[in-house]
Structure 1
Amino acid sequence: MTPDDALAFGRTFSEFIDEVRRLAPAGPSSLITRLTEHLGTPPNELPVVASPFPLYQHANLQAALDAYLARPGRSYDLVGAAGPGRDHFSFTDVLAASGNRGMFEIGTADYTSVPVGIDAEKACVSFGIYLVSDGDHRYVVCMRLTEGRGQPGCGLDVLAPSTDLARAFLAEIQDLVREHNLFRGQVISFEKHEFGPGVGPLKFHRRPHIDAADVILPPGTLDLVHRQVLGVADHRDRLLAAGHHLKRGVLLFGPPGTGKTHTVRHLMGRLPDATIVVLTGLGLGAVREACAMARQLTPALVVLEDVDLVAEERMPGGQQNPLLFQVLNEMDGIAGDADVTFLLTTNRVDLIEPALAQRPGRVDLAVEVPHPDDDGRRRLLDLYGRNLKLTGAEADEIVAATAGATASLFSELARRAELLAATSGEASAGAAQARAALAELTASQSALSQAKPAPGRPPAPRAFG
């Protein structure tokens, strides 16, 4: 649409509204009459106090309002507003347009179904006007979906005898959003998505369950991570009584495919009551929203995967990285007595700004997740290749041939060997298929490593030697 088209549309729409107003009956609409009866004064004479929320908080806002209205001594009626183009107006505009020759009349409230978890939804008001009585106080509360700065959202618009009463009402709603938050104890991520359970940039996930025996790390490494992440949670009362903080940060670094994400998923399962907030890729830009949620929903684990994407001090061209400072500010903004863990992963620890990686209080523990040694590779082969028919000597051969390999290679090796056996009609996969699968993987990785890297980018690290 060109600017001239937009201007023409605006003129046509304005003319349409003027014509609707001309044809509308004289006098206030039934909506204004009902609100006046409830408030005891015309609503146009009262200020509207607005409280916007991001779209993903819609269900929590509804839960908070339901909890408010359910308390003793409170009652309400819920009505809607019927009229042309209502969704293009603010609540203030709806009231103004419902005065003399009113455009909007009493209608029914609109509802929408909002995801609140895996296989779970909540019916929420998308446009509705609550006529609230709380003792001697009267409120008009409009819950509606909004388009703030081009971004979909939701919010409450409150009419009350004074702005102080309206703000007190909204402050109680904010407290109830925290108290009745439907995200508590869930695993969520901030990311762009088109499919799966979620709302706006927020997506819900099932909590993974991975046994410690299935996490193959150098001896003592997992115990160290457990003590920092799980131990603080288990002994929070003792630590607080001794004057120590609970907030902690752990950085897992090492080459791609060595098991960092696998370790993260294991820790998620070991914190069954914690709220897990995952940021990765472009979702790292939502660190402010993630940390705000973590503050409200402790105990919480905030996962920043591939944190090197935002943790370089300088961006191309020498400019300072605003996302890095956002991450630092948010980590610093978590109170010391808040049971919040920051779990960071990176393939490129050399790119991490020291202000993040080398400062206790932000990152208290940095753990390398290296390529597995001989013993580690044998355990990986036993884990992923448990259905392979291998003698001890054949297993030793595979282990020796995979020096420098990552954990992910063994998962794919076992899968490919099983597929080779299936396509050739073999009852089970054995050494022949394992050797063939390893040869294919080695050839594929060799071709990738020899490919010319994109200009300005280093060559991709090899998964194995």
Structure 2
Amino acid sequence: MTDASSHGPAAPEPVDISLFAKQFQTFLETMDHYATEASRDHIAAELGAHLGTDPRTLDPVRQEFARWQWVEIDRALDELAEEQDLRGVIPSQDASGISDLLANHYSVYELGAIQRRAVPTGPGTVRHVATNALRLLRIGTIPVVVFATELEDGPGDTQNIVVEIICGDHQLARETLANINGFVSRNSVLQGQVVSFLSEEFGSDSLSIEFHSRPHVDAHDVVLPKGRLEKIEATVLGISEKAQRLRAVGQHLSRGVLLYGPPGTGKTLTVRYLLSQAKETTAILLQGESLSKIRAAATAARALGRAIIVLEDADLVAEDRDFNEGERSVLFEILDVLDGLGDDADIAFVLTTNRVDVLEEALAMRPGRIDLAVEVALPTAKLRKRLFTVYSAGLAFTEEGIAQAAKAAEGTTGSFAKEAVRRAVLLALDADEEPADNHLLEAVKALSAEATQLREAMNSEDDESQ
């Protein structure tokens, strides 16, 4: 009989793998919970260490600003205190405010690098603003936290930037926010500038701003029938010069001027002249899709106190409602803005159109919307001669040559004269000669022939399509 002990130690008990897996999963979940809690509370801990109290017990004060005010906001925040500790919030645009950061559900937010964006401040200049910064600072001896960021899904193009403040002294937080708002209002980067409001992308509510150098156009460069430029200037600029006296007697300052006529007759040049004369007045230009930004432009202009808003090619969105249902919302925006300005708003609206016949009567004829409508028509023979004289300044064309060119250019626009002079100079350069009358007359004939060929080709295409 064999002893059982001679077979060595007994075999180990079988391991319950499923039980081990469950215990290991519990371990991982526990570690993840503690890691998540530490991460989630990290922002609250950082702010609490600065404030000396749990920031979740403090109510933030909040204000929203227009997107184009980033530069002023950044400057205002920099001036709150000489020493500031900036912490970047990542991702920033998902947070609607400090409360979101402190709650930090699912540990979405963390502190990281400051993100800065180059925001235009003028033609060719920018400021790199902090767009995701929590600012830890002291006002006097009181610790304060300020958060400024851009809302990803803000309501349109008017209120996109949120600024929030928390500190132990709620009154100080409110006063600080009021000071920021006052600084932003007094130091607008748009003040005295010429800017375009642009749609960032098709169908987007967002806008961007492009700065332009102020044009330099002399009165003699604008060739209109006698008295018309003076009348336009008196309405657009003269009202501002009399603003104080008009307010004193209860008269409104807002006004509208409509410049209408064929393309190339000088409407845009007239607008450029007005802008060149209004050297300290903010000008906001809207064209094409950006015409839908009329309300944002009016809001900015109202805050600035004095402004000119230019709506180029207004017929594109202000056509009669019977013909174009698709643009009604933009038309209504324009009408509402023209009607809704306060009596003391020193804002001039200048509209241009190539097709006055399609402008809705309510826009073009109602006083208070359009105070002055001026036709910028095809130039007469006398005006064409002036145009050729203006555009050929410094060139050796004779008075007789200019008169012949003006006569040959019957039915053309002011831009035709400018291009004819340019074409004459090119012809002279190709012949290695000084520009002379023969070059000018040749240029006029060539341009006239090209225009005739183009019209015939277009008419032919129209006939074929019918």
TM-score where L is the length of structure 2: 0.81
Q: Give the aligned partner of residue 257 of structure 2.
A: 250
Q: Give the aligned partner of residue 313 of structure 1.
A: 320
From 209, 216, 221, the counterpart of 1:214: 221
From 435, 441, 445, the counterpart of 1:439: 445
Q: Is the 8 A contact 1:78 1:109 kept in 2?
A: no
Task: Mark the CA change 1:94 to 1:241 in structure 2 (over 3 Å): closer, same or farther.
Answer: closer
In the TM superposition, residue 143 of structure 1 has moved relative to its aligned partner by 1.4
Tell whether 2:128 aligns with 1:140: no
Deviations 1:258-277 (A, max 9, x none): 10100100010101100000
Letter in 2 for 1:256: P
Q: Give the aligned partner of residue 68 of structure 2.
A: 56
Q: Give the distance between the partners of 2:173 and 2:365, measured in 1 at CA.
A: 46
In the TM superposition, residue 347 of structure 1 has moved relative to its aligned partner by 0.8
Matches within 5 A, 1:36-51: 36-48=48-60, 50-51=62-63
Farther off after superposition, 273-282 or 31-40: 31-40
Stretches of structure 1 that go unaligned for 5 or more consecutive residues are 1-16, 460-465
Farther off after superposition, 109-118 or 132-141: 132-141
Q: Is the 8 A contact 1:388 1:414 kept in 2?
A: no
Matches within 5 A, 1:185-224: 185-192=192-199, 201-224=208-231
Q: Is the 8 A contact 2:88 2:115 kept in 1?
A: no
From 115, 128, 147, the counterpart of 2:120: 115
Tell whether 2:311 aligns with 1:299: no
Q: Give the distance between the partners of 2:454 and 2:171, measured in 1 at CA.
A: 65
From 442, 446, 455, the counterpart of 1:449: 455
Q: Give the distance between the partners of 2:149 and 2:325, measured in 1 at CA.
A: 44
Q: Is the 8 A contact 2:195 2:212 kept in 1?
A: yes
Tell whether 2:246 aligns with 1:239: yes
Q: Give the aligned partner of residue 435 of structure 2.
A: 429
Q: How many residue pairs were aligned?
A: 429
The RMSD of aligned alpha carbons is 3.5
Q: Is the 8 A contact 1:236 1:246 kept in 2?
A: yes
Deviations 1:250-299 (A, max 9, x none): 11111111101001000101011000001011110110111111101122
Q: Give the distance between the partners of 1:66 and 1:127, measured in 2 at CA.
A: 14
Letter in 1 for 2:132: F
From 127, 134, 147, the counterpart of 1:129: 134
Higher radius of gyration, 1 or 2 = 2
In the TM superposition, residue 316 of structure 1 has moved relative to its aligned partner by 4.9
**SS of the counterpart of 1:177?**
helix
Letter in 2 for 1:158: I
In the TM superposition, residue 442 of structure 1 has moved relative to its aligned partner by 1.2
From 372, 393, 398, the counterpart of 1:365: 372
Q: Give the distance between the partners of 2:30 and 2:240, measured in 1 at CA.
A: 63
Q: Give the distance between the partners of 1:362 and 1:304, measured in 2 at CA.
A: 13
In the TM superposition, residue 374 of structure 1 has moved relative to its aligned partner by 1.6
Q: Give the distance between the partners of 1:238 and 1:311, measured in 2 at CA.
A: 34
Stretches of structure 2 that go unaligned for 5 or more consecutive residues are 1-28
Q: Is the 8 A contact 2:69 2:189 kept in 1?
A: no
Q: Give the distance between the partners of 1:150 and 1:245, measured in 2 at CA.
A: 31
Q: Give the aligned partner of residue 11 of structure 1.
A: none
Deviations 1:210-263 (A, max 9, x none): 011111000111111121122212222222223322211111111111101001
Q: Is the 8 A contact 1:79 1:107 kept in 2?
A: no
Q: Is the 8 A contact 1:63 1:181 kept in 2?
A: no
In the TM superposition, residue 89 of structure 1 has moved relative to its aligned partner by 4.6
Farther off after superposition, 30-39 or 161-170: 161-170
Q: Is the 8 A contact 1:312 1:353 kept in 2?
A: yes
Deviations 1:300-329 (A, max 9, x none): 111111111111231656567111110111
Q: Give the aligned partner of residue 385 of structure 1.
A: 392
Deviations 1:158-204 (A, max 9, x none): 3356988766654543333211111100000012579xxxx952100
* Percent sequence identity over aligned pairs: 36
In the TM superposition, residue 156 of structure 1 has moved relative to its aligned partner by 1.8
Task: Mark the CA change 1:148 to 1:52 in structure 2 (over 3 Å): closer, same or farther.
Answer: farther
From 77, 89, 102, the counterpart of 1:95: 102
**SS of the counterpart of 2:152?**
strand
Q: Give the distance between the partners of 2:156 and 2:302, measured in 1 at CA.
A: 24
Q: Give the distance between the partners of 2:301 and 2:220, measured in 1 at CA.
A: 29
Q: Give the distance between the partners of 2:127 and 2:33, measured in 1 at CA.
A: 37
Q: Give the distance between the partners of 2:326 and 2:344, measured in 1 at CA.
A: 35
From 14, 29, 34, the counterpart of 2:46: 34
Deviations 1:1-26 (A, max 9, x none): xxxxxxxxxxxxxxxx9997654574
